[in-house]
Amino acid sequence: MKALALSLVGIAAASPFLRVRQNNDLESFIERQRNLSLPAVLRNIGGLNDSDVDGANPGIVVASPSTVNPNYFYTWTRDSALTYLMITDELLFGTERVGNNSLQVVIEDYTTAQAILQTVTNPSGSLWPAGAGLGEPKFYTNKTRFNGAWGRPQNDGPALRASAFIEATDAIFVRAPNASEIVANVYWPIILNDLNYVGQYWNTSSYDLWEEVNGNSFFTTTAQHRALVQGSILAEKLNQTCEPCQQAPEILCFLQNNFWNETGNYLLANINTNQVTRSEVNIDPILAAMHAFDINATCDAAALQPCNSRTLATHKVVIDSFRNLYPINENATAPTAVAVGRYPEDTYYTGNPWYITTLAAAEVLYDAIAQFRKNETLTVDETSLDFFTDLYPNATVGSYDGDDLENILDAVMEYADGFVEVVQKYTPENGTLNEQINKTTGEPTSAIALTWSFAAFITMAERRDGQFPPSWGASSELANNSTETCAASSYNATYSYQVAAAAGAPQVGTPRCMKEVLFVANYSSAFGNNLYIVGNNTLFGGDLMPELPIQVMRTGNKTETEPLSIVPAWVISPQTIEYRYVLQNETAGTYTFENKTMIVEVGPCDGEIQRVDDSPAFPGQ
């Protein structure tokens, strides 16, 4: 990793596209809290000076130092990638050192840590031969597998990690235009692993970013589209080929045609789920728009931007859903900002507002303001009209420029600042940002010093200050090229343990012959029940009667006539696998094990998929 020792500092400047309103108290709070938040993030990363996470390996982002109620002392692929996107931004904006910690070294440590984690076999699978292990959401902080029951796979992680690394390479090229060899040898192999995963698995079901709903997520799909567009652009710079990136038009077609709720006038967070208790009014599409944000994009760009009418309409619906939900919001009406949660039906920790989501409500508006001002025009249509009339009652359908544009944007700016003022109200004097805000008392609650909360504050402050990350290509031809008819295509990827060696990945020699076995269970279960498979194979937990099962079946193939749950498993061939099914009742927190044990003889690794069909039966049924 010493080859990465390039000075990347001072290569971005503040943008003129935001006009900050004068509020000295808020300005002072933001400056102070931003200065506290970056060191707080670094204290949650292993291997650094003044780290608060003893035992975490260098470059590993710990979600929170909290080890009980809740235990967040793990590293999540998603949270880590979002954190490192922020760290790269800070490096680009000239924040070279924080105390004794160099942000450049922090990024190098992350690179090595993630190269290693890509090779760790886990309950989701392995890197070789099918890449399934890349979808594992979290690991222990010493870079070992987490075997507990969890919502897996989560397909946003590889996409976000690819984007984080690609932005790091953008920074390298700006400072050192001749760095192609370093980027090609160190970064591209890791990036390509993740892009392969995106291209291969984008159209399969996975858990959403809150790790609760299995289906297709707007946030995940947006992240996947961005990653493939970025990957294609980087591949061209390196004279490489990015075959999985050819899936970008299909992903865009799926994104554009499936998530809009015409009746409710908002973007759906998830589709193709068995979830029946939610409206799918959710902050997720707002977070997705923030991730898709590109200061060079227009409001009608194919990847929905913060200034897009559908994004703004969703913002109104989401914020309004929390106005009379939390006592601390006091039923406030627009244009008063309020504390914001994840979704109105949330019951985690009794369902509270979060720092992340309240800050997102502000950041996406700062993004939109910058885009409107850069484009020097703002169009109000029937979709966005209700959003704008809340803030500027004289708004009507039409286009605005000049003084009219500035008057509307001033109203939006004041509204956005209101969400930051909510965070200010509920931030303790020492600047610690927990995960949540108690909906009744306003006291910080849940996981302490949440890394993502601090990172969210910093990105909000960057955008408010007119600091924007490099363009990811939202205006490029590929980013706006959608197929006419959506198809459930995929890329048949090839993975290798060897390719990430320059970044620090372990060399394991020639992997043994592997066979794909598809376990298919025909079983109709009531809502709130999950079907697991356990067995003497390591992917299934290695135990026929574990305390907690780890491998939940995937329900994406369920229909009314064929209620199929599946789990693909790449296993060493030949071998004998003993297994049984387990039914979880989420409400009661109980597990019922099937009485019988099944046996499958894994055949030769001849390239054919071996399918095993079962009809599980449980005691009392």
Q: What is the pLDDT of residue 6?
A: 42
Q: What is the pLDDT of residue 530?
A: 82
Contact 548, 148 (CB under 8 A): yes
What three-state secondary structure class fits 145? strand
User: Which of 218, 83, 242, 62 shows the shortest CA–CA distance to 142?
Assistant: 62
Weakly modelled stretches of the chain, pLDDT under 50: 1-13
620: left (phi over 0), alpha (psi -120 to 50) or beta: left
Residues marked as catalytic: 208, 211
How far is CA 621 from each of CA 523, 590, 594, 616, 618, rounded to the nearest angstrom? 12, 16, 11, 10, 6
Please provide residue 573's backbone torsions phi and psi, each rounded to the nearest 5 degrees.
-120, 140
User: Which of 211, 502, 148 shows the shortest CA–CA distance to 342?
Assistant: 211
Q: Structure pTM?
A: 0.89
Q: Would you state the torsion angle of the CA atoms of residues 394, 398, 399, 403, taken in this order, to the nearest 10 degrees? A: -20
What three-state secondary structure class fits 445? strand
Q: What is the pLDDT of residue 83?
A: 97
Verify cis geometry, omega within 30 degrees of 0, for the bond prior to 506.
Answer: no
User: Which of 417, 459, 373, 362 shows the shortest CA–CA distance to 21?
Assistant: 417
What three-state secondary structure class fits 330? coil
Residues at the binding site are 150
Residues at the binding site for substrate are 150
Contact 337, 361 (CB under 8 A): yes
Q: What is the pLDDT of residue 420?
A: 98
Strands 610-614 and 514-522: parallel
How far is CA 480 from each of CA 164, 232, 242, 468, rounded to the nearest angstrom? 21, 13, 18, 21
What three-state secondary structure class fits 462? helix
> Rounded distance, CA 160 to CA 223, Å?
6
Residues 6+ apart with CB under 8 A from 598: 578, 579, 580, 614
Does domain 511-614 fall under CATH 1.10.630.10? My reply is no
User: Which of 231, 144, 143, 220 shows the shortest CA–CA distance to 187?
Assistant: 231
User: Which of 21, 156, 25 shows the shortest CA–CA distance to 425?
Assistant: 25
Q: What is the pLDDT of residue 550?
A: 83
Q: What is the pLDDT of residue 400?
A: 94
Q: What is the pLDDT of residue 159?
A: 98
**pLDDT 10s digits, 125-170:** 888 888 999 999 999 999 999 988 888 899 999 999 999 999 999 8
Tokens of 78: 């998603």
Q: What is the pLDDT of residue 4?
A: 47
Q: What is the pLDDT of residue 270?
A: 94
What three-state secondary structure class fits 554? strand
Q: Would you state the torsion angle of the CA atoms of residues 262, 264, 269, 271, taken in this order, to the nearest 10 degrees? A: -60
> Rounded distance, CA 307 to CA 209, Å?
23
> Rounded distance, CA 464 to CA 398, Å?
27
